Homo-oligomer: A and B are copies of this chain.
Amino acid sequence: MENKSVETQENILIAARTIFAQKGLAGARMQEIADRAGINKALLHYYYRNKEKLFEQVFDEALKKMLRPIAAFLADDSDLFQKIRNICRHYHEVLVEYPFLPNFVINEINSDPTRILKLFDAEGFLEGREKTIIQINEAVKSGMIRPIDPRELILNIISLSIFPFAGRPVIKEILYKNENIYEILKERADRVSDFIIQSIKI
């Protein structure tokens, strides 16, 4: 009996991910989520008190899955180039699974900035960031890489990894029409790190 219940809840979450991703929090309809999960609205509210709670669960879950390993990579002791490769690869892996995540973050940070930032904090992202900034500065000083502001390098890594997923529908139409964009993006991970490393290495 419990199986069925768990299965239904899982179906709800899967449906919610899709709908929230397509329409955002405001645009999503509880009825549509229920339909897609193959249940009715009453049951949907039976398991998830309201729209906000449902959204929060879907959102927090996905964001944690993204941030926790990134924080770990930032904090570990591998050398800079390896770190860049790890991070790019992880971004691409998770985003192939949760391609809606960037839009979630981008859209919802406007409505409640603090909640998202708390998640960054909780997942240890900020400490890892400090450590990596120091590491980049040292790499510059030791002549391993060209002079670059650490935050700018981080921003470039993030931009190259995330934007193609955030803008995926447009990208697909203007650059990769009639191709499997997910395949292309998945394969891109290592080329992105090469592109970055090529730019900074001496």
Contact = CB atoms under 8 A, between A and B. Distances in A.
Interface of A: 22-27, 102-103, 105-107, 109-111, 113, 116-117, 120, 125-126, 129, 146, 148, 151-152, 154-156, 158-160, 162-164, 166-167, 169-171, 173-176, 188, 191-192, 195-196, 198-200
Within the oligomer, what is the number of copies of this chain?
Answer: 2
B167 A151 contact: no
A126 B169 contact: no
A167 B162 contact: yes
Nearest to A153: B195
Contacts of A199: 195-196, 198-199
A66 B101 CA distance: 25
A170 B105 contact: yes
B175 A164 contact: no
A171 B155 contact: yes
Contacts of A155: 164, 171, 175
A199 B146 CA distance: 12
